[in-house]
Amino acid sequence: MSTTHRPRRSSAPLRASLIAAALALAVTLTPAVADEVTQDDIDRAKSAEQTTAASIASLEASLAQLSATTAAAEVEAAAANEDYLTALDELDAATTDAENAQAAADAAAEETDEARTDLGAVVAETYEQGSAGTLDSLAPYLSGQSLGDATDVSVALDRAGENTDSQLQSVEAMQAVADTMQSIADSKVEAKQTAADAAATAKADADAAAAAAQAAQASAETERASLIAQLAQQRNTTVELETAYQEQLEAERKAREEAAAKEAAEQAAREQAAQAEAARNNEQQSAQTQSGSSEAGSGSSSGSSAPSSSSGSSSQSAQSQQSSGGGSSSSAGSSSGSSSQGSSSGSSSGSSSQSSRQTATTTSASTSGGSASAAISAAYTYIGVPYVWAGESYGGVDCSGLTMLSYRAAGVYLTHSSRAQYGQGALIPLSSAQPGDLVFWSSNGTQSGIYHVAMYLGNGQMIEAPTFGYTVRVTSMRYSGIMPYAVRP
């Protein structure tokens, strides 16, 4: 074989490799064809989004309703507690009345027995001196028999002598008084029992309401956690982030409600202050009118003989009545009730009463500073003490128990009831409240609906025993349901 003649290598495998590479490159460079998006796909996506949004809205609404339900249960429990405390106060008053009435009845009976003894001595002496007959007809006067058994008093009087007549009448009158006093005492005992039954019923109701409130709170916490977990899943976030977000929403909602409630409370206070001022003006005008009528009558009756005396007297009377009309408002607390009851209408009496108690603050503001300061200091010693239904010690207090104990340390007596405490001091417009004043919340805007009390500290702060599961704390003022007046004990 010649050296110039070499065998040729086959080119078939090389061509195959080139073709395969070209095909692979062609496939790689060919753009992918996306699936066609139809209107049905768009509608389904929108529907899913709307369903998620609706579910989120429903869950958030459930959370808001849960908060409202829990708050309502707490108010109901607080109101039931106040009903019980009011019933206890009435029971204490009924017990005191019954004891006083029985003491008066016993005293009257003792006086009657002493009078019988004296009468018996007189009759016995008369009989020993020779009077004829028996003493049977005087037996009712000399014993505990009914006076109705005396059948022949005239014969007895002839026998015992005219000197005995007045003593017989005295015994008869004293026995009647003793019988009446005992009857009153018996009715007071019945009233005491009625009050005791009412207190027992109120306690049972309060216990049930407290248990219901605590159960509602526990249930709400469980349900809230479940709702927040569902929201986190719907929003594709974590439970922690959703919890923080919901707390922010809740805080913003409460802030809006509080702002609206504060404005409403301030408006109500302004309206009631205007009504009180109008009532005072009416009282002064009425006093002036009565003074003018008195002056005219005095002038006509005295004639021209003493005009200066009549005029001077009438002028002094007018000034006295004007002073009385305005001066009655300087009496704080329950003393204003008498002037309001003298009014011819219920609305004017209420305005007069509040006018009196409100005006009293001009004189009490400077004198109450010491007791208020002492009460605030005492209240601070209860910080951290747990809320206990009807509690009144460092082991536990409720709202009115805290204010009662705090002012007791300042030498001021308050009843253990927020409703009662609303009537135990001078009314102060809420906008003029000072540290130490008591602020109240009511379910219906009246004293009978009051269910909570706290002590104002100034700068929008208060100290309170809030409700079950909390301790005594310093917190911001709340205005939802607040009464338009504070009270300065």
pLDDT at 224: 79
Q: Does residue 326 lie in a domain region?
A: no
Residue 257 lies in a domain: no
CATH number (domain holding residue 460): 3.90.1720.10
Q: Distance between alpha carbon 123 and the CA centroid of its chain, in Å?
A: 64
- Which of 185, 203, 235 is where one domain is finished? 235
State phi, psi for 54 to the nearest 5 degrees. Answer: -65, -40
Q: 276 — phi, psi (to 5°)?
A: -65, -40
Crossing angle of helices 153-160 and 39-128, in 10° steps, is: 50
Looking at residue 130, what is its pLDDT? 55
305 domain-assigned? no
Q: Which of 235, 263, 298 is the last residue of a domain?
A: 235
Q: Rg of the Cα trace of the chain? A: 43
Residue 172 located in a structural domain? yes
Instruction: Please indicate, yes or no, if residue 200 is contained in any of the structural domains.
Output: yes
Condensed to tens digits (0 to 9), the pLDDT of residues 13-44 reads 556 566 666 655 555 555 555 567 777 766 76
Q: What is the pTM of this model?
A: 0.55
Same domain membership, residue 226 and residue 373? no
CB-based contact 284:322 (threshold 8 Å): yes
- Whether residue 164 contacts residue 157, with contact meaning beta carbons closer than 8 Å, is answered with yes
Residues 231, 373 share a domain: no
Q: What is the pLDDT of residues 325-378, one digit of tens each?
A: 333 333 333 333 333 333 333 444 444 455 555 544 444 444 456 899 999 999
Q: Which residues of 338-369 are buried (b: 16+ CB within 10 A; e: fewer)?
A: ebbeebeeeebbbbbbbbbbbbbbeebbeebe
Residues of the chain with pLDDT under 70: 1-35, 41-42, 44-46, 48-49, 52-53, 119, 122-165, 167, 206, 294-369
- Number of structural domains in the chain: 2
Domain span holding position 394? 369-488
Residue 253 lies in a domain: no
Q: Which amino acid is at 458?
A: G
Angstrom CA distances, 250 to 60, 63, 221, 241, 320, stand at 10, 9, 14, 14, 58
What is the pLDDT at residue 31?
A: 56
Tell me whether residue 416 is exposed, middle or buried, using C-beta atoms within 10 angstroms of its C-beta: 0 to 12, 13 to 18, 19 or more.
buried
Inside any domain, residue 115: yes
**Could you say which of 204, 235, 266 is where a domain stops?**
235
Does 360 map to a domain? no
Neighbours of 289 (CB within 10 A): 12
